[in-house]
Structure 1
Amino acid sequence: MNWIILIIAGLFEVGFATCLGKAKETSGTTATLWMVGFFISLSISMFLLYKATQTLPIGTAYAVWTGVGAVGTVLVGILYFKEPAEFWRVFFLFTLIASIIGLKFVSN
């Protein structure tokens, strides 16, 4: 169950990174609302990370949390913000995914 909580925490990390990207593109009230979304996503992400570390090793949990967030943020960047999807970028994205899966298999 804590692995699921950890993955959800990573998805909220994607949420706060996305909100930051949108806040940068806007101004006024819209930017403020994106920043509110950023702080809400950040708070939920940190709380869920804290809950997951109650039973998972902190090093593994943090690595998986940042990895899920990094993979998700890159995918959002490619799909939503029209960032480049160059070969090496996608290649290293898949190596990061493989590393996250590997950590799951070698953790207690």
Structure 2
Amino acid sequence: MMRDYGKRRTSQARPKVRSGGGSLGGLIPRRQALGAGLVALALAVLLAGIWVAWLVRGGAQEMSQQRERHQELVRQNQELGEQRNQLLARERIEMEAAKLGLFPPAPGQLRDL
């Protein structure tokens, strides 16, 4: 038997191949989009890491300054405590009172009210 191919349409002879703009049925643009997305994500993570590192470094510097300030205040507090103890010493008070003409009361000078 003979076949007559003249009656067939050429469009039915071969099915059309639909492409998504590239080879492999449109997978390359998807891969490019996925790659671009991953690159953007990696860049965002890198920038966020740099920003966090900058914040941590600034916080560490501030903490160091606060620690130094605290140590200075503790030292100053100790010095002020020593000065207060010297000023409140009984001998010093009696000496300063004597300079002003004040003396402790004699036994007959005290009266009960």
Tell me which interval the TM-score lies in, with the shorter structure as reference length: under 0.3
Q: Which has the larger radius of gyration?
A: 2
Which structure carries more helix by proportion?
A: 1
TM-score, normalized by length of structure 2? 0.26
TM-score, normalized by length of structure 1? 0.27
Higher relative contact order (CA 8 A, sep 6+): 1
